[in-house]
Every structure is written in C-alpha cells, then in structure tokens.
C-alpha cells in the first residue's frame, strides 16, 4: 500500500514531531487537535525546528517551504481525516482518551484507511478492539524528540494483518527511521527497560540515597548516559512516566514496577517537568535548579 496522505491526531510534542518528519518525507499531513493554541504552537515549532536542522546541515533549506505547505491543520474536525491512507493517533497517554478518539474517528474514515497509535505503553490489541478495523490497526511508537531520534517501535496487535504491518514498516523507512518490532506486552521494549530505571532513580531520591544532582551526575559520569534519569524524566514528562509505570504495574502484576510515591506526589502537585516549569528541576530561572 502506498501511503501518501496521513492524518495525525494530537498536536502535542509527539504529534508535532510526527507531522514534521512526515512532511519532510513528502507526505501530505492533516494535523488535528481540539485546541487551537496547540495547533498554532505546533506549526511554529515545526518551522523553527526545520530551520535549525537546515542550519546544522541535516536538511536542505529549500526543502522547508514545500514541507510546511504539506501540513494542513484541523481544529476538532475528525471529518477532515476522510481520504487519508493512514491516521496516527498521538493524543495524551490515557487509554480512555484514546478509546474515545478511535470510537469517534472510525465512522468518518474510508474503508481502506489504516489506523495507528503512537502509545508508548498501552495494549495495541485492546485499543484495536474498540475500532471497526482491528486487522488494520497497529502501534507505531516514535521516540521523543521525533525529528532527532532514529528508532520507531512497531507493534502488532493480535488481529493486525501482514499488509498493515508491511505498510507500517514502509512509512518508518519513508521518514528515514529504523523500525524495531516489539510484541504487544506492556510498555513494549524501550519503556519496559527505561521507565523502571527512572522509577528506581526516583526511589533512590525518595530514600535519601542521593540528591537530584548526585543521582544525575552519577549516571552521566558513572554509566556514560547522555543525561541523568531525573533530568530525562523531566524531559519526558512526569505524568507520562507515571502512566507508563502504572501500565507496567497493572499489566504485569509485579511489585518491582510499583510507581515510587515521590513520583506520584510530584504529579499530584502538577510538577510535571519541563512542560510545566518544575519537576525534579525548577526551570523558571536562567538555569535549571534541583528541587530536592
């Protein structure tokens, strides 16, 4: 199947990045969100990031304007997804929200349209079950930030057919990424390994083993990680970290995946990381300052 017209639902960090790489690859993109301000931010972010890529020699400057013209925006009109070859859901990591989107979306789609979710942890099989096309449903999990990260996890649900799987692999290749096939188990591969490490770093802070600065410095210099786990948690979003840990804990019923109470407390406080100005670091000044 030749995928030339793609819909992206959700103009947050992930949806914005997905629209960015698709448009550069020559794909016509319809970016939809219920929030007009999010759509405005998304288009500005995409343009700014493309110019940064051009300044670094990663893309050609003359490729930017045609790519931007391939992105169309839609505020709360799922009917605009009609005529798309593939629609990728990139809404918040909340299963109830995603299920509602798919239930509202399916009656508006052409019969040939493939469906994908960018979920980082939720069962593909379970999400597919609320659609009218589980055999044409698949997980395509881009990494954040999408323009820079090379990997995309591709996850089949129990009903996903071979045509849909091959189409997913084709779109990953088309945007210049590398696919890793993962089975449909909680959090797949990357987050199954990464998020428990972050959760353990939060436990290390919670138990007073080390401060925020000590923990991040130890993992940067002692394990040669590009950024410490608490800084990474702030970048991902502490609400997303908590959601993934809850999926692991509930899906695998193993106490080793229990979310750290301190992580829960930060989320309850609304300290979600960089996007809210405070998390394990306070970002409201010129330089980030540890909050513990």
Judged by DSSP in three states, 171 sits in helix
Active site residues: 120, 141, 153, 191
- For residues 165 and 138, the answer to whether their CB atoms sit within 8 Å is yes
- For residues 277 and 266, the answer to whether their CB atoms sit within 8 Å is no
What is the C-alpha separation between 280 and 283, in angstroms, rounded?
9
Q: Strand pairing of 289-290 and 281-282?
A: antiparallel
Q: Which two tokens stand for residue 171?
A: 């779109």
Q: Which two tokens stand for residue 198?
A: 């972050």
- For residues 198 and 238, the answer to whether their CB atoms sit within 8 Å is no
Query: 10 Å Cβ neighbour count for 226?
Result: 8
What is the C-alpha separation between 165 and 155, in angstroms, rounded?
8
- For residues 99 and 130, the answer to whether their CB atoms sit within 8 Å is yes
Q: Where are the beta strands (DSSP E) in the chain?
A: 5-9, 28-33, 71-75, 86-89, 114-117, 137-142, 151-156, 178-182, 281-282, 289-290
What is the C-alpha separation between 287 and 219, in angstroms, rounded?
20
Which residue has 């690859």 as its token pair?
A: 25
């Amino acid at each position: 199947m030749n995928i030339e017209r793609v819909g992206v639902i959700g103009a947050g960090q992930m949806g914005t990045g997905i629209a960015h790489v698709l448009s550069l690859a020559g794909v016509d993109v319809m970016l939809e969100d219920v929030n007009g301000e999010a759509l405005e931010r998304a288009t500005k972010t995409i343009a700014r990031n493309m110019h940064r890529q051009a300044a670094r020699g990663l893309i050609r400057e003359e490729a930017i304007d045609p790519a931007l013209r391939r992105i169309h925006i839609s505020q709360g009109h799922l009917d605009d997804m009609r005529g798309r070859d593939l629609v990728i859901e990139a809404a918040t990591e909340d299963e109830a929200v995603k299920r509602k989107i798919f239930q509202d979306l399916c009656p508006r789609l052409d019969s040939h349209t493939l469906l994908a979710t960018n979920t980082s942890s939720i069962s593909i099989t379970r999400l597919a079950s609320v659609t009218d096309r589980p055999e044409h449903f698949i997980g395509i999990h881009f990494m954040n930030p999408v323009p820079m990260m090379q990997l995309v996890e591709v996850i089949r649900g129990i009903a996903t057919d071979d045509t849909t799987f091959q189409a997913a692999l084709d779109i990953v290749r088309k945007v210049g990424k590398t696919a890793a096939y993962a089975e449909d188990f909680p959090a797949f591969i990357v987050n199954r390994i990464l998020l428990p490490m972050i959760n353990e770093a939060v436990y290390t802070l919670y138990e007073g083993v080390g401060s925020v600065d000590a923990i991040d410095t130890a993992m940067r210099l002692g394990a040669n990680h590009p950024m410490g786990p608490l800084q990474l948690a702030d970048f991902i979003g502490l609400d997303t970290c908590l959601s993934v840990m809850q999926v692991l804990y509930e899906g695998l019923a193993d106490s080793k995946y229990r979310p750290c109470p301190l992580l829960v407390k930060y989320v309850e406080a609304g300290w979600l990381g960089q996007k809210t100005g405070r998390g394990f670091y306070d970002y409201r000044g010129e330089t980030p300052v540890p909050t513990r």
